[in-house]
Structure 1
Amino acid sequence: MLNFWISFFVVGFVIASSVYGLARRLSLMALVDTIWTLGLGLIALAYHRYAELNSIRSWVVVLLIMIWSFRLSYHLFADRILLGKEDPRYQALAEYWGKQQARNFYFVFLAQVVLVALFFLPVSVAMSREGAWAWLDMLGVGLAVCAILGEALADQQLAKFRAQPNHRGAVCRVGLWRYSRHPNYFFEWLHWFGYVLLAAGAPLAWIGPIAMYVFLRYLTGVPFAERSSLKSRGQAYRRYQSTTNTFFPWIPRNQSN
């Protein structure tokens, strides 16, 4: 197993460095997110083959994480990479870091390899668990699939709203966005509970939902998205904040706005 992790980090850092070089050439730091999304799916597949797992549960877990990986990677490529559209989060970081941005962004790219390893842990625990297929596994699969579909729907609704020329500068309140300001983040977080169930509640499996909530709610997700939306949509977004929950979906407090 030590050889597996050594190989992973060596290959991972080489790939991250290469993607960083491409991002610098294209002036598109949003490429960093593809390391995380594609990397997690690929390490799961590699580990499955390396550990010679062949249980139903192991194949189901690999399938789930590969679907998640492909779906989110495709969304990033279609919505940002192919359009050459920089993520507002990275624009803000570039402005904040100034002359140090080249060095700091390189460390951000390398950090993705560590994050892939961190979030692979709950996946590997679920994949390696022994025992007969049971109702808890069915519940875990159902939850993970519903969460993936929910996140995909939220992304689709936002993309469709923003594609309308008359919605430029407006706040999306359609569909799932009527009940949460970040439904895509909510479903991303919910997805990781699927592996907790598939791992029968093993302690390491809780790394997924706990770490994901911290990252999305307080570090890399909500704070940057909120600041960007306030900057681009101003008072309209402040009204949205006053009526709609930040993360967990709920009925709007004032439906007149």
Structure 2
Amino acid sequence: MTTAQQLPWIWLLAAVLMVLGWQWQRRRDNAGIVDVLWSAGLAAAALLLALTGTGAPGARLLVGVLATAWALRLALHLWARVRSEPEDCRYRALREHWQGSQLKFFGFFQFQALLVVLFSLPLAAVAGHPAPAPWQLAVAAVIWLVSVGGESLADAQLARFRADPSNRGKTCRSGLWRYSRHPNYFFEWLHWCAYAVAAIGAPLAWLGWLGPVVMYLFLRYISGIPFTEQQALRTRGDDYRDYQRSTPMLFPWFPKS
């Protein structure tokens, strides 16, 4: 199948998932399920692209195995949080702003289905690569290993910190969180660089760069860091302000003394 033929199927699958997710959040007043389904939708998209793509076996295998594994890990991690914690502050704020309008939530969920299609484009570029160089696939695999390992480690360190009752109201400054205020977001962004490398020389190589560029814009300015930092300032106040002054926002570096 060509990319133009694959994308409508990806959109249809994501749209159906988001309808089911919208109904789930109506019953439970928890829109956090949208993040779980966005990740699960990308996992399904990666499998579809790998199975129906026209590229070399190595390129399709990279998408089918690595991209699917990344998306499933993220979906399971988010699901564990959604099912055990109250609704994320971002979605509580939307619920209050929209006065509980389910029509607006439905539109929001369907917008996320379109984002699944958008973030499928870098994967489609790789899955359609007719002859990626061995070094490209190797470098992409190394970037993937570092990014997924780093994000998993950051998530585990934060979960361990939060599990200690004595840390309530405090800011995690240990492990990777000593060098970046959002190491999990950094490694999520880094993950998309793997497909940019793997897509070099492909007919749609420019689509490979959509992943790191668009993900950076979303994390830095739209749905990631701004909301997370606003919530941290509300709950941790001066302790988090001190953390902001000493620790880089996204890209890891040594903290200021």
TM tier, smaller: over 0.9
Counterpart CA distance in 1 for 2:225 and 2:42 is 22
Counterpart CA distance in 2 for 1:131 and 1:47 is 16
2:139 aligned with 1:136, yes or no?
Answer: no
2:248 aligned with 1:245, yes or no?
Answer: yes
Q: TM-score, normalised by structure 1?
A: 0.92
Give yes or no for contact 2:56–2:128 (8 Å, CA) kept in 1: no
Counterpart CA distance in 1 for 2:100 and 2:29 is 15
Give yes or no for contact 1:28–1:84 (8 Å, CA) kept in 2: no
Give yes or no for contact 1:64–1:144 (8 Å, CA) kept in 2: yes
Please, which runs of 5 or more residues in structure 1 have no aligned partner? none
Identity %: 40
Partner residue in 1 for 2:215:
212
Counterpart CA distance in 1 for 2:197 and 2:9 is 29
Counterpart CA distance in 2 for 1:241 and 1:26 is 34
1:237-256 superposed Cα distances (whole Å, 9 cap, x missing partner)? 111111111111111112xx
Partner residue in 2 for 1:221:
224
Query: Would you say how many aligned residue pairs link Structure 1 and Structure 2?
Result: 252
Counterpart CA distance in 2 for 1:117 and 1:166 is 43
Partner residue in 2 for 1:197:
197
Give yes or no for contact 2:49–2:64 (8 Å, CA) kept in 1: no
Partner residue in 2 for 1:171:
171
Letter in 2 for 1:234: G
1:37 aligns with one of 36, 39, 56: 39
| CA distance 1:60–1:4, change in 2 (3 Å) | closer
Partner residue in 2 for 1:107:
107
2:233 aligned with 1:235, yes or no?
Answer: no
Q: Using the TM superposition, give the Cα deviation of residue 24 of structure 1 relative to its aligned residue in structure 2, in angstroms.
A: 1.2
1:47-91 superposed Cα distances (whole Å, 9 cap, x missing partner)? 22233656122112211111101111111112x222043212112
1:8-41 superposed Cα distances (whole Å, 9 cap, x missing partner)? 3333222211110111101111000012100001
Partner residue in 2 for 1:61:
63
| CA distance 1:49–1:137, change in 2 (3 Å) | closer
